[in-house]
Structure formats: C-alpha cells, structure tokens
Amino acid sequence: MEIDENSLVRCRVCEAVNWDSDIYCHRCESKVYIDNRGSINRAWAFLVTALIFYIPANVYPILVGEQFGNSSSNTIAGGIYLLWEEGEYPIAVVILVASVLVPILKFIMLIYLLINANLNRRAKINPHKVHYLTEIIGPWSMVDVFVVAILTGLVQMTAISIIAGPGATAFVLMVLFTMFAALSIDTRILKGVE
Amino acid sequence: MSSRKDIDLNELILCPKCNALHKKVQLESDGAAVCRDCDTILYRYRKRALEHSLALSLAGMMLLIVANLFPLVKIDLMGMERHVSIVSMISSLINDGFYIVGIVVSFLVLIFPFMIIVVYTILVTLLMTGAKYNLSRELLVLLSKILPWSMLEIYLVSILVALVKLMGLVEIHFGFSFWALMIFVILDIYLSKSIHIGELWELRERSYRGDR
C-alpha cells in the first residue's frame, strides 16, 4: 500500500482511520485532533499523582481484621507474605502479580512512553504495543481492592470482623489515576510526530 | 503517493495493538481477519450479528438483574450466617466510612455494567430497526467511553480469591447470584471484548444504508 501509516490516526472513540490533519473523526464526529503538549502534560500529572498515592497504598494497612478482640492489620506486602506462609501459593502469586507487579509494570511502561514523547523520538519497542498492554493489564490491579471489599461485606460477625484499611483508599486512587494517565495518551503522541 | 481524495478511509483499518495499516477485505465464511504483523484479530465474519447481539444483551440484562437480587456467597461460622451481594458490599464499605472506595467500586461493578448492557440493548434495537441515526451515534460514543471501566470479570476472580482466604475459617456456600454473575461475565466478554467497537460502527453504517 502506498499510504504512509504516519499520516493516519485511529480515532480513539470509534477506531475509524482518519488523516493526521483531520480535526473531527469522519465517522463518530469526536475530536481526533488533540493538542499533543497538553495531553502529554496531563498524562504526566495523572502519573505523578498515581505515584504519590502508591506510597500510602503500600505503607498503610489495606485490611484490618478483628478476631476475638485481637486486631491485626495487613499491608499489601504483609498480606502476600502471610498467604505464602500459610501455604496458599497460588493465591499469593495472584495477589503479588495483581497488586505489586501490574502497578509497577504499568508505571514503567507509561514513564517509558511519556519520556519518548517528551524527547520527540520514536520508542524502540513499538509504543502502540506497550500502550495496548498497559490498557489490558491495568484494571487487574483492582483485584486486591475487590477482595478487601468482599471480605468487608461478608465478615462482619461478633467473633470475627474485617474492615478495610486506609491503604485501600490510596490504592483505589492510585489505580484510578494510572488509568486516567493511560487514557490521556493517544496514537498521535505515540508516533512522536512534530 | 496517491492523492488523499482517492483514498476511502472506510476501507482501511489500523491494528488496535501494533498500529499496522491494513486494507479491509470481505470475509466469506466463519473466519477472522488478523493483523499481518502481530496476529491480533481485527474483525470477524459475523452472520446475523445484530440478531445475536440483541438476544445476548437481553439475556445479559436478565442475568445481571438476577446477579444483584440474591446473595452471591453465604458463609457459616459456628451457626452464625452472613451473606453478601454487590449492593450490601458497597453499603458496608460506605458504613465503615470508606466513601471513596465505596463510590469507585460501585461504579466499576454496578453502575457501569448496568449502563453498558442497557445502552447495548437500546443500540442494537435501533440498528435493527434503522431508526434514530443521531441517537445511535451518541450511544456508541458513550459505550466506547464506559467500556474500559466495567470490571465485573475482575470482580468475579476477586470473589474466588476472597473465598480462598476464608477457606478453613468458615463454611462457604455459593449463592444463586454467583452463577448468574458467572454466565453474565461470559456473555459480557463476547459482547464487549470479542466484538470490537469498530465493528459496531460498521454495522451501524451498513444498517442505515439498508444492506444488512
């Protein structure tokens, strides 16, 4: 095909192919022209906010349990360690991947994309693939928050009760802001034009 | 390079994963068009796509209602019983003072999934009848904006993880709603993950042009 891929953009709303110079998508009429500098800065702002929330999310307990009057609280890392000690290896691995590896991987990938966008160079690893991956794996970091929510709703008895910890709020906000950051990046930025 | 006016953008597709450019081809029978670089599925051949989507989205709506009517899981500890549903889970988060977690979770596992299935059903009905051209565009735009924010499949996995944590401590019984939720998630994966949003836009164009 004699058309240059770089002169085309995919509409992020309806996936239609548009010319780079178009302002509105010819199919869904959403804006396809986006101010690059503005959306790079916005993505950085969301990412830095997420990084800030990542600290309390790991320092503060995500789960507080009370059993016969004794209260015990667990951070994310503490919970994984406890599961491992108890021999629940598969669950420990699921939580490790969802709550530790996925957020870290997502931070690294977004920083990689944004640094390349800032330096105006084309990333060595296909940036579209990296971005696609961040959007696929991102939501899975919510597993731990959902687990805490389910346990909070379920275990409310006189002998044993479980409530969420302040770390859960920070973790939810961290996931939310990394998703906002990923959504602020569009194909135009990934191509590193201008 | 040929002039831009000679090129029909509707004939082109960029791979959602690696951004490679392709010219669309007509698929004959049960097949899928895959990206030449990364093998990602670009679109599929779908016979009676709208009829199937309508049937599945109606079924999905009923399953989602059932999934919210009854308890998902029941636990039993020395004669004391507790059960949980999506709504009771959110209300106990709010009661404990975790407003942010409660509100975010309620959007991800309750409000957005319901919105998606309702919008989907209305949309497919419009496309089948060929009515309300502008409304169907707005619904499709809305749909593509809320799709990334529905997390019921992740929630389903989380239920299982939570139960493994409780195993040994308490007796666990799955509620009727758990199975409804599981079937809903399977339908949802077909409707919103297997059918790309671009395919819905093409169905829309074809349906208003009159050739389905």
Question: Could you say which of A16, A126, A154 has the minimum Cβ distance to residue B75?
Answer: A154
> How much is the pTM?
0.90
Q: Tally A–B CB contacts below 8 A.
A: 178
Q: Does B98 touch chain A (CB under 8 A)?
A: yes
Q: Are strands A160-164 and A8-10 parallel, antiparallel or unpaired?
A: unpaired
Count, in order, helices (H) and strands (E) of chain B.
8, 7
Q: What is the model's pLDDT at position A192?
A: 59
Residue A183 has pLDDT above 70, yes or no: yes
Cβ contacts (< 8 Å) between A170 and chain B: which residues?
none
Q: Does A149 touch chain B (CB under 8 A)?
A: yes
Q: What is the model's pLDDT at position A194?
A: 42
Predicted confidence (pLDDT) per residue in A94-134, tens digit? 899 999 999 999 999 999 999 888 887 776 788 888 988 99
- In chain A, whose CA is at the least distance from the CA of B19? A128
Q: Residue A173, Cβ neighbours under 10 Å: how many?
A: 20
Which run of H or of E encompasses B200? helix B197-209
CA geometry: angle at B195 spanning B119 and B130, to 5°?
50
- In chain A, whose CA is at the least distance from the CA of B166? A151
Cβ contacts (< 8 Å) between A30 and chain B: which residues?
141
Q: What is the model's pLDDT at position B15?
A: 87
The nearest CA of chain B is from the CA of A15 a distance in Å of: 5
Q: Is B144 exposed, middle or buried (0-12, 13-18, 19+ CB in 10 A)?
A: buried
Question: Could you say which of A10, A140, A173 has the minimum Cβ distance to residue B100?
Answer: A173
Query: Picking from A30-34, A146-150, A188-192, B131-135, which range would have the lowest pLDDT averaged per residue?
Result: A188-192
Q: Is the ipTM beyond the 0.85 threshold?
A: yes
Phi, psi (degrees; rounded to nearest 5) at A50: -60, -40
Cβ contacts (< 8 Å) between B105 and chain A: which residues?
145-146, 149, 172
Token pair in block for residue B130: 């060929």
Residue A147 has pLDDT above 50, yes or no: yes
Predicted confidence (pLDDT) per residue in A58-105, tens digit? 999 998 888 777 788 889 999 899 889 988 888 899 899 999 999 999
- In chain B, whose CA is at the least distance from the CA of A29? B137
Round to whole Å and give the CA distance between A166 and A144: 13
Token pair in block for residue B98: 């975790």
Low-confidence ranges of chain B (pLDDT < 70): 1-5, 211-212
Contact of B133 with B204, CB cutoff 8 Å: no
Q: Name which of A42, A10, A55 is nearest A110 in CA terms.
A: A42
